[in-house]
Amino acid sequence: MNLLPLTYLGNVQYFAKLCFAPCVIDIHEHFVKQSYRSRCDILAAGGPLSLTVQTVRPSGGGCAVRDMRIDYSKRWQHQHWYSIRSAYKSSPYFDYYGGELAPFYERRYEFLLDYDLGLLRLILRLLGAEVPLRFSERYLSPGEAEEAGFSDFRSSLSPKPRLHRPDPSFDPEPYYQVFSERMPFVPNLSVIDLLFCEGPGAREILRRSCRP
C-alpha cells in the first residue's frame, strides 16, 4: 500500500501509482512549501516550467494540508492558464481536454484540498481510470507509516532532488512531447503533459511505467 501526498496536477509517477496500485492520500500531514502539494511542472518552449498555487501563510505553527487556504492576491490562475495554453495549444489533444481544465483557472476555491481534489478527479476521469480514492484518517509519522506496512512517498515525491530516493516500481515510459523535435524527452512532468500529448493512450503509458 502506497502513502501519497496531495498534489496539484501530480506527475506521471504519482498517477502511475494511483491508477495501478493500492494507495492512500494523506490529507492530515502538515503542508510543505515548495512541494507538489501546490506545484506542478510542465514543458514550455524553453524547457520545464514550474507553476505554483499561491497559498495563505498560516499564522503560528504549521497547517494541515486539509486546512490550507488559497491566496488570490496575485493573478496566479491567469498566469498558470496562460502558461498551460501557450505550452500545449499545438499538442494533439489540447482541444479535447483543455476546455475541461479551463474552469479551474476561473473559479475560486477557498481550500487547496478542494482545488487539488477537483483536479485529481477530473484527471482520473480523462484517463478513463475508475479509481476509488482513499484518504488518511489521521497523520502517520514516517515510523508509524513503516510499521503499518506503507510505502511512504510523501517526502520522496518532491521537486527537490535531495529528497528523491530510488523507486524500483516506476520506470517512466517515453512518449511524444510537444517539443520532441528540438529537445530530449523530459520524464515525470505533470500528468497533463502526458494527457495533452497522448490522449487516450495516456493510461497505457502509465501502466507501462509501472514495474512489478
Q: Provide the percentage of residues in the chain whose pLDDT is more than 70.
A: 99
Q: Where are the alpha helices (DSSP H) in 50-111?
A: 76-88, 94-101
Q: Quote the pLDDT of residue 166.
A: 83
20-38 pLDDT, tens digit each = 999 999 999 999 988 999 9
Q: What one-letter code names the amino acid at 69? A: R
Count Cβ atoms below 10 Å from residue 51 Cβ, excluding itself.
20
pTM higher than 0.75: yes
What is the enclosing helix (H) or strand (E) of 39? strand 39-44
Q: Quote the pLDDT of residue 60.
A: 62
Backbone angles phi, psi at 186, to 5 degrees: -110, 110
109-137 pLDDT, tens digit each = 999 999 999 999 999 999 999 999 999 99
Closest to 40 measured CA to CA, from 157, 153, 163, 208: 157
Burial of 64 from C-beta contacts in 10 A (0-12 / 13-18 / 19+): middle
Contacts (Cβ under 8 Å, ≥6 apart) of 161: none
